[in-house]
Amino acid sequence: MTVQPSLKLTYWDITARGEPTRLALTIGGIPFEDHRVARSDWPELKKKTPFGQIPVLTVNGVTQVAQSNGLLRYAGTLAGLYPAADPLKAALVDQVVLHIEDMYNMLYATFVEENEERRKAARKALGDERFPPMFASLDAVIAKHTGGKWCVGDSMTVADIGVYTFVSYFKWRDFSPMPKTLTDSYPHIMGVFEAVGAHPRVIEWEAAHRK
């Protein structure tokens, strides 16, 4: 019998980069400590992280692992949601996760703009010009490699969790003037979003944690 490692995921009390790993572990039924960091604790905690950033996963109370996409692959492997034994399928999963990462980075760049008008202009440019072709290409990739309702093959992977989490941003947060309906015209993306959202453990998780 394989002994599951003891896991502690340290991240802010928000969704964003730590949420896909939380969901992968939750969907896979992998126990973990969901350590949500208070801003007041961060200066001291930062010194103890590998790269001065979170999320960080502590394994068996000793080994710290950083970088959100690495954590997602590890959690996905434990949970049976990452095809580590199939290099080609793993690459197809990774391309979706990393495409979404590119979009996250573009969106996060608007967070540091303190001028409200420039921030709105940057988000309008994303919604009008940059994101539509990126969503369109993602939708086409899902259509090409899916066996039905998932991003790659005929079962859920961490790619689907990544899509779900990113679409959730547009549904549950305000990035005005980008509309909350920005993703609605992409049927394969929305199909993945709805399929992950319908998972019983995701429904339970959202009920307990969504603010």
**Per-residue tens of pLDDT for the chain, all 211 residues:** 467 899 999 999 988 899 999 999 999 999 999 999 999 999 999 999 999 999 999 999 999 999 999 999 999 999 999 999 999 999 999 999 999 999 999 999 999 999 999 999 999 999 999 999 999 999 999 999 865 689 999 999 999 999 999 999 888 888 999 999 999 999 999 999 999 999 999 999 999 997 6
Query: Which residues in 67-86 are b (16+ Cβ under 10 Å) and which e?
Result: ebbebbbbbbbbbbbbbeee
Instruction: Say whether 194 sits in a helix, a strand or coil.
Output: helix
The CA distance from 126 to 39, in Å, is 29
Fold of 7-79: Glutaredoxin (3.40.30)
Contact partners, residue 149, CB within 8 Å, separation at least 6: 191, 192, 195
- Hey, what CATH class is 87-209 in? mainly alpha
Q: Where are the domains of the chain?
A: 7-79, 87-209
Does 7-79 match 87-209 in CATH topology?
Answer: no
